[in-house]
Amino acid sequence: MKILIFGTGKIYQRFSECFVRANVVGFLDNDSSKQGQCLNGIKIYSPDSVLFIDYQQIYLLSAKADEMRKQLVDLGVDEHCIFEVHELYKGLRDLLTPPKCWMYCIDGTKRYARKKEATGHLLLLTPNLNLNGAEVALCQLVRVLLILGYRPMVASLTDGDLRGELVGMGVPVLILGLAAHDIPLARQDCLGGAQAYILNTIEMYLLLQERDQNIPVLWWLHDSDMVYREMRIHDESLMHLDVDNIRIEAVSNVAREAFIEHYAKECRVGIMPYGLENWAKKKNTMRHDGKKMTFCVSGGLTKRKAQGDFIAAVALLPDKILDTCRFVLIGQGGGELLTELKAQAKNLPIEFLGEFSRNDMLRFYEEDLDVLVCPSLSDTLPIVTVEAMMFGCPVIASEAVGTSTLLIEYQAGMVVPVGDADKLASAMLWMFEHPEERTKMGTAAKKIYSDMFSLSDFKKRVEEVMQAILCKHE
């Protein structure tokens, strides 16, 4: 099989070691400064040269795959010969080599992973180990599995702060590399022998293209419809997965409906909300220590989290609240969006605090936060809202936030229309002007946590699901 690779940048670098057994006859790149040079001993050509090269397949390894495809088709290339990143296994199968991965052992050592490293473990697979909601939920799942007597192991595409927390719990961690996302379970030797696989989020879907049918699978979904689009989840590839013998659980009905819409075939999806250990050391009450009342949006800087709507709402507030309150954005992110948000916030008293560590975030909930604002355009069941409620803080959320119905039911906060800065500003002003009612909302918020998201209730849900999938495969 003679293949061409279109693109030599970051995405190719991510997959470079996966092509060691493939017959790569050339690279294509639109960058004229690269054309004529060699990469890994293989020549880089201009895309026009495709007409004179002997090849059978072309792989588009770029975020601009749509533009590249059109460019090639316009040159006369048969579209059936063109494949994208998510089709690597479909096109190459036995020629695709999994990247080497690292094993972080519970004794603090680090080494290359061995064949069937996961033998005897419940293997949990997740996109990253950052302090994102889905990954924090995964750590809580690991904690519950340990309590239930299982032997969990975590495999992540990339490293992050949560690795130390997991190893500290006595859980070994595999760092697979980003390329492992596109290679199915059965083709990654170190993942073999597991007692069961637990896949975290929709992003791990390509791992299910081929697997050992004797190993049970739980797929835990946290993702809204907007995440499918942000992650470029390809419905055609998703629909080809056989999920009949996979237990699928979603954290909320919003996540459930998103999967059903994109999978577009009949399947059963249950509901398994996460649970959190109680990190609140003391009740968070109205503070009289001279600190400013604090409104905060916490989460990665993305269009979906709608930090811009929060800034627009702050701009509408009267001086009496601008002068006496703090307005804070917490979360990782940079690039163009951060630049846009800072420009939008110019001359407003808004603090960009970046990403917090776990301990700093918990300290912020306990010592500083008064009202959490979650203006997201789409959010299934954001952990940040539950964490805030755990500490007795009321929440202002958009209608697209999965916890919004609970805020209404328990009278633990306020719900505003998506993208309505005027209504969001009005809600923030009401919170400022009604301290006694706000305190009552905080008490109600704490009850939501204890009623719906305690670790003990989560343990019962997990125990039931794990017994069901393991017994089915005995």
Domains 2-95 and 102-275+455-472 share a fold: yes
Over residues 421-473, the pLDDT tens digits come to 999 999 999 999 999 999 999 999 999 999 999 999 999 999 999 999 998 66
Of 68-77, 165-174, 464-473, minimum mean pLDDT range:
464-473
When the candidates are 3.90.1150.10, 3.40.50.2000, 3.30.70.20, 3.40.50.300, the CATH number that belongs to 293-452 is 3.40.50.2000
Tell me the pLDDT of the chain averaged across its residues: 93
Of the chain, the percentage scoring pLDDT greater than 70 comes to 97
Of 24-33, 285-294, 307-316, 387-396, minimum mean pLDDT range:
285-294
Does domain 102-275+455-472 correspond to CATH entry 3.40.50.2000? yes
Over residues 84-130, the pLDDT tens digits come to 888 888 888 888 888 889 999 999 999 999 999 999 999 999 999 99
Instruction: Show the 3-state SS of the chain.
Output: CEEEEECCCHHHHHHHHHHCCCEEEEEECCCCCCCCCEECCEEEECHHHHHHCCCCEEEECCCCHHHHHHHHHHCCCCHHHEEEHHHHHHHHHHHCCCCCCEEECCCCCEEECCCCCCCCCEEEEECCCCCCHHHHHHHHHHHHHHHCCCCEEEEECCCCCHHHHHHHCCCCEEECCHHHHHCCHHHCHHHCCCCEEEEECHHHHHHHHCCCCCCCEEEEECCCHHHHHHCCCCHHHHHCCCCCCCEEEECCHHHHHHHHHHHCCCCCCEECCCCECCCCCCCCCCCCCCCCEEEEEECCCCHHHCHHHHHHHHHCCCHHHHCCEEEEEECCCCHHHHHHHHHHCCCCCEEEEECCCHHHHHHHHHHCCCEEEECCCCECCCHHHHHHHHCCCCEEEECCECCHHHHHHHCCEEEECCCCHHHHHHHHHHHHHCHHHHHHHHHHHHHHHHHHCEHHHHHHHHHHHHHHHHHHCC
- Each domain of the chain, given as residue ranges in start order, spans 2-95, 102-275+455-472, 293-452
Confidence of residue 288 (pLDDT cuts 50, 70, 90): very low
Over residues 34-63, the pLDDT tens digits come to 999 999 899 999 999 999 999 999 999 988
At residue 289, the pLDDT reads 58
In CATH, the number for domain 2-95 is 3.40.50.720
At residue 208, the pLDDT reads 95
